[in-house]
Amino acid sequence: MLPAEVLAQAQEAIMAYQNTGMSVLELPHRSMEVAAMISECNALTMELCELDDNYEVIWMQGGGRMQFCMIPMNFLADNDTAGFIDSGFWAEEAFSYATYYGQVNLLATSKAINYCRLPEWPKEVSDQLSYLHFTTNNTIFGTQWPEIPECDVPLIADMSSDIFSRRRNYNRCAVFYAVAQKNVGIPGATMVAIRKDMLDRIVRPLPPMLNYKEHVKEKSVLNTANVFSIYLSLLMLRWIKAKGIDAIEKENADKAKLLYKAIDNSEFFKPHVKYKADRSLMNVCFTANTPEIEKNFLKLCDENNITGIKGHRSVGGFRASLYNAVSLADVKELFRVMDAL
């Protein structure tokens, strides 16, 4: 979802962007306006993540999967090893993409229990690893790491489905990235934050388009940037800042609490993640006790304008994604419909 006021601002910018006499859709990617847009996005990211001056922020294309490729291309040499925590489908994808470039070590996984819990974080991590990759929120299975752990090797995090949803110690990561289409905007742009020292650790010659250092040097316009997606991210970042990250965090916690309570107390549904400390505040996954209930609930949702509630095929049932723009009132409406079953 996008907030109504963000949609209204986008609509206005489509007709005329500031005093340029152009639509935001017509702006040249090397114009002053786009440079200003990107620099404000970077400043807001730094501020909202409370990053120190050691980070660079870039906006790229190719989505999450492109990062799954670029991270090992840039940071994992053929004979070196990277560590992975497998907490769900996307974490496993990141792991399997890395096998094309170097050695991989699966340090923890909860695949055998269909990811209904977080795996145990490794007690010790070898300092020989080039980096450790993990996924902060598991979009499909509805688990989320409550903290970013401290780590002696560079920690790289996929934060695609929970960035800007709560206060976090982002400075513990050497690199973190997020696709825009969940908490930050629309498909097209991917935000990457890189600690500067990582730019001196690039392990192989790469064409500029695949090299983080070149994207940093070119200030996110090495190639024709996806201006509209970046602009939507800017509007979302301003919206998040205006609301305040603490207020967002509180509302996200209230939304999830309401829904988990409804599921835990229900005679019709059960949660996919029973262990409460591992539960995601962003994606609440639950199943119906019988196929009949599943069918009836889907119909009821449809009649009440609740869309996109069907769960991923690997979990079945339902998934309520409570990204930042979903309000507590929206969740109360879902609660009302569940109660009416």
Q: Which of 2, 20, 65, 312 binds ligand PMP (CB under 6 A)?
A: 65
Task: Give the 3-state secondary structure of the chain.
Answer: CCCHHHHHHHHHHHHCCCCCCCCHHHCCCCCHHHHHHHHHHHHHHHHHCCCCCCEEEEEECCHHHHHHHHHHHHHCCCCCEEEEEECCHHHHHHHHHHCCCCEEEEEEECHHHCCCCCCCCCCCCCCCCCCEEEECEECCCCEECCCCCCCCCCEEEECCCCCCCCCCCHHHCCEEEEECCCCCCCCCCEEEEEEHHHHHCCCCCCCHHHCHHHHHHCCCCCCCCCHHHHHHHHHHHHHHHHHCHHHHHHHHHHHHHHHHHHHHCCCCEEECCCCHHHECCCEEEEEECCHHHHHHHHHHHHHCCCCCCECCCCCCCEEEECCCCCCHHHHHHHHHHHHCC
Asked if 191 interacts with ligand PMP (CB under 6 A), we say: no
135 is a site residue for ligand PMP (CB under 6 A):
yes
Q: Which of 59, 86, 145, 158 is catalytic?
A: 158
| Closer CB to ligand PMP, 135 or 143, in the complex | 135
Identify the active-site residue in 59, 182, 255, 278.
182
Minimum distance of ligand PMP from residue 203's CB (angstroms): 23
Active site residue 80: no
211 binds ligand PMP (CB under 6 A): no
Closer CB to ligand PMP, residue 65 or residue 213? 65
Give the residue, chosen from 22, 61, 63, 325, that forms a contact with ligand PMP under the rule CB under 6 A.
Answer: 63
Q: Is 59 a catalytic residue?
A: no
Please confirm, yes or no, whether 90 is among the known catalytic residues: yes
The answer to the question of residue 115 lying near ligand PMP (CB under 6 A) is no
Q: Which residue is nearest to ligand PMP (CB)?
A: 63
Q: Give the binding range for ligand PMP (CB under 6 A) out of 61-69, 111-119, 270-278, 299-307.
A: 61-69
139 to 178: interface string for ligand PMP, x by CB under 6 A: x------------------x-xx-----------------
Active-site residues, by number, are: 90, 158, 182
Residues that bind ligand PMP (CB under 6 A): 63-65, 90, 135, 139, 158, 160-161, 179
